[in-house]
Amino acid sequence: MKHLGGFPPYLLPEIKEIINLLSPHTKRAYFVGGCVRDLLLKNKIKDIDIEVYDIAPETFDSLMQSVGALGVGKSFFVYKYKNIDLAMPRIEQKNGTGHKAFEVSLTQDEKIASKRRDFSMNALMQNIFDGEFLDFWGGVSDIHKKLIRLIDVAAFKEDSLRVLRAVGFASRFDFQIEEKTLAVMRELDLSDLSRTRVFWELQKLFFAKHLHIGLRYFYELGLFEKIFSLHVNSFDVANAALELEDIYKEKELEEYYFLYITSGVLCLNIKELLGKLEVPNSYHQIFRYQPFIKNPTDKELLEIAMHIPIKRWLGNYQKGIKEQAVKLGVFESIYTGGIDIQDVIKEGFEKEAIKKEYERRVLETIK
């Protein structure tokens, strides 16, 4: 099975189990979606999707149950077996509002089934038995061109979430979005998407390697207005994009850089941005005290370190900041200036006055 060479070794036993399970029943089962795209891009493959043809639904259900696969959506004939999602080929038609409002039916035509996918690079199929590729929409060519291109305009417009997916893919893979696809994306209203779903898609962008590309498409597609109800200018966006492109990424903090730098350079209120999204509490905790300061002086760095060690300050990606903070003794620790809060308490200060007096005394040592 030479065609399985691009898959991670730890996934191969699971794949072979499925091949052995399905081979007596069909010769048409395919790796589909992101795993085929990532195989061609030589990216790390985490999850695998397999689409199974020429099997009756009841037979498919029986086979899945025989290996203990977990049903994900009974009416869609979707199962999860370890790291593999298995499904029968389906087509979807919009029947309401929202990204889940679709009527689903089965098909045995690979081309029709692949047409429901968003972009050509995600519509590739590879036979799990012999490795044969099916490419009905020019996905291989688009991957070589580093191009994101929609398959069907009418189908694409049925799911506005695809706008955010495209921006995420561009940021992850350093791809460009085709002009016709961009034009269609500009027309779509995102108001039918829940704040939670918007955040889930944006979070994929936050982890991307090419954040500056995501920001430029954010501006070009009017997403600041559509998601945050904010108007921004091209000059500030260009500066923020340059900042994101040059950023030094502290691995444990990289998820927050997009919002930190974008809000900082564009002079946006980070609390308002977070309020427009259904973010987890970790975001609110991280951004409680994260001032955006370029090339801080020793005094400014010590003031930041009164609240958090510079190791935890998102601005520490700037050149020379770590060395500056280490010299001041505040990279790993907060700055106290030798002031003990217990002394403040002993002097009779109470409640909020304790914090104010403590901070006043520490600031005096900085001055």
122 and 150 Cβ atoms separated by less than 8 Å: no
Q: pLDDT confidence of 367, banded at 50, 70, 90?
A: confident
DSSP 83-127: TEEEE--EEEEE-SSSTT-EEEEE---HHHHHTTSSBGGG--EEE
Average of per-residue pLDDT across 326-341: 95
339 and 367 Cβ atoms separated by less than 8 Å: no
pLDDT reported for residue 74: 55
Average of per-residue pLDDT across 246-272: 85
Question: pLDDT tens across 1-56, in order?
Answer: 788 888 999 999 999 999 999 999 999 999 999 999 999 999 999 889 999 999 99
- Tokens 């417009």 correspond to 157
Proportion of the chain above pLDDT 70, given as a percent: 94
* Cα 110 from Cα 96, distance rounded (Å): 26
Average of per-residue pLDDT across 160-179: 97
- If DSSP states are collapsed to H, E and C, what string results for 294-325? CCCCHHHHHHHHCCCCHHHCHHHHCCCHHHHH
Q: How far is CA 281 from CA 203, 216, 277, in A?
A: 14, 27, 12
Tally: H helices and E strands in the chain: 19, 11
Q: Computed from CA positions of residues 58, 64, 65, 71, in that sequence, does the dihedral angle turn out positive or negative?
A: negative
Q: Which residue has the higher pLDDT, 94 or 158?
A: 158
pLDDT reported for residue 51: 97
With residue 72 as reference, give the H or E element that holds it.
strand 70-73
Q: How far is CA 267 from CA 74, 236, 258, 291, in A?
A: 48, 9, 14, 11
- pTM across the whole model: 0.89
Residue 61 in this model has a pLDDT that exceeds 70: yes
Nearest Cα to Cα of residue 154 among 184, 177, 111, 124:
184
Q: pLDDT confidence of 249, banded at 50, 70, 90?
A: low
Residue 139 in this model has a pLDDT that exceeds 80: yes
pLDDT reported for residue 96: 54
CATH of 1-145, one of 3.30.1490.270, 3.30.460.10, 3.60.15.10, 3.40.309.10: 3.30.460.10
Average of per-residue pLDDT across 86-91: 91
Residue 215 in this model has a pLDDT that exceeds 90: yes
In terms of Cβ atoms closer than 10 Å to its own Cβ (0-12, 13-18, 19+), residue 162 is: buried
pLDDT reported for residue 147: 98
Average of per-residue pLDDT across 143-165: 95
114 and 139 Cβ atoms separated by less than 8 Å: no
pLDDT reported for residue 246: 84
Average of per-residue pLDDT across 101-119: 87
* Cα 306 from Cα 296, distance rounded (Å): 14
Average of per-residue pLDDT across 94-99: 53
* Domain(s) of CATH 3.30.460.10: residues in the chain: 1-145
Residue 100 in this model has a pLDDT that exceeds 60: no
Phi, psi of 51 (to 5 degrees): -110, 130
pLDDT reported for residue 187: 95
pLDDT reported for residue 102: 58
Phi, psi of 294 (to 5 degrees): -90, 135
pLDDT reported for residue 313: 96
* Cα 30 from Cα 10, distance rounded (Å): 19
50 and 18 Cβ atoms separated by less than 8 Å: yes
Distance of CA 342 to the CA centre of its chain: 45
Proportion of the chain above pLDDT 90, given as a percent: 86
Q: Computed from CA positions of residues 167, 171, 173, 179, in that sequence, does the dihedral angle turn out positive or negative?
A: positive
Please give the structure tokens belonging to residue 78. 């979707």
